[in-house]
Amino acid sequence: MQNSILTSRNIIQSKLSLPIFGFGSAHLGEMYNLVDEEISQKTLHGAWNAGIRYFDTAPWYGRGLAEHRLGGFLRTKPREEFIITTKVGRTLHRPSKVETFKREPWLGGLNFEVKFDYSYDGIMRSYEQALQRLSLDTIDALVIHDLDPLFHSPEEQTKHESDLESTGLKALKELKSAGDIKAFGMGINQKDSLAILAQRLPLDFALVAMPYTLLDQESLHDGMQKCLMNSTSVIIGAPFASGILATGSGNNSKYGYANASEELQLKVRQIEAVCKEHEVRLKAAALQFVLAHPAVVSTIPGAINVDQVTENIDCLESKIPEIFWKELKTKDLIAIDAPTPKE
């Protein structure tokens, strides 16, 4: 069945429905490239004019820059016509030493220090700061951000999990119960977090950045299956695996926000060969593959210009023959029992 960006799917344990295709704003925070202010606004206008109505952002993206840019655009639009999600767990503060402050890993962004805080007060402060940066008075859903061992020492991880479970979740439940948000979820970067931590929390959804893509289905029978069993919906946050499934193989290709290994590049070249044989774009395969999983309600690729927005939509809505997916399975390039789109 051919996809359309007008199609919506329900987050099962909430009153929120999401378009299957949204706009991820991490690139507006200037991760890999500086993004001119005028270009950032043209990109957002292009996304809106193309029909995109779901936008995702975070305080971390450019240390507040992405939220400022996105909010500056959306505040001019009728509030009932779009859906916006942002993240909690980080608060932003003026640097103690402004003159020597480093913005890494952001190439650009803003001069704000980041503090992790998953407590009740931290969640509420993060939420209130986001409202101000976005120039909006409502947010549709909040996402617990980067509570992964990837970002914290074992001691910090234990403390943050304890803070979240003892008081932080209370804040999110209060906001949802009051109708200030319609749902809350958790951002996931690692398969173990998806399989363990996300499953013991009362989440409406998981925003999965890396553990389920055209390149990696290790979570298929673990975290993704548990989400399906627990009625936890899934949003795929990095359908292009942070770069390589958009750019293709090459010396500068990125995977997991770092340079792609030769092993991964070889696998992508093999997928590219099957794409060429069946006249399928790699980006189209990446987008449509993740949406075929029954737990997935939406995917939110990023874009840094209007052309990328238009191309992403075209890739989402293009037709891919079933024989293409069968060949990927035959050549052991995707899991043999991975859900794939039907014609």
* Positions marked catalytic: 56, 61, 87
What CA–CA distance (Å, rounded) separates 214 from 175?
A: 35
Q: Does a cis peptide bond (omega within 30 degrees of 0) precede residue 105?
A: yes
Residues 6+ apart with CB under 8 A from 239: 213, 214, 245, 286, 287, 289, 290, 299, 301
Quote the tokens at residue 57: 């952002």
What CA–CA distance (Å, rounded) separates 14 from 224?
A: 19
Task: Let me know how long the chain is.
Answer: 343
What CA–CA distance (Å, rounded) separates 151 from 293?
A: 28
Torsion of the alpha carbons at 132, 133, 136 and 138, rounded to the nearest 10: -80
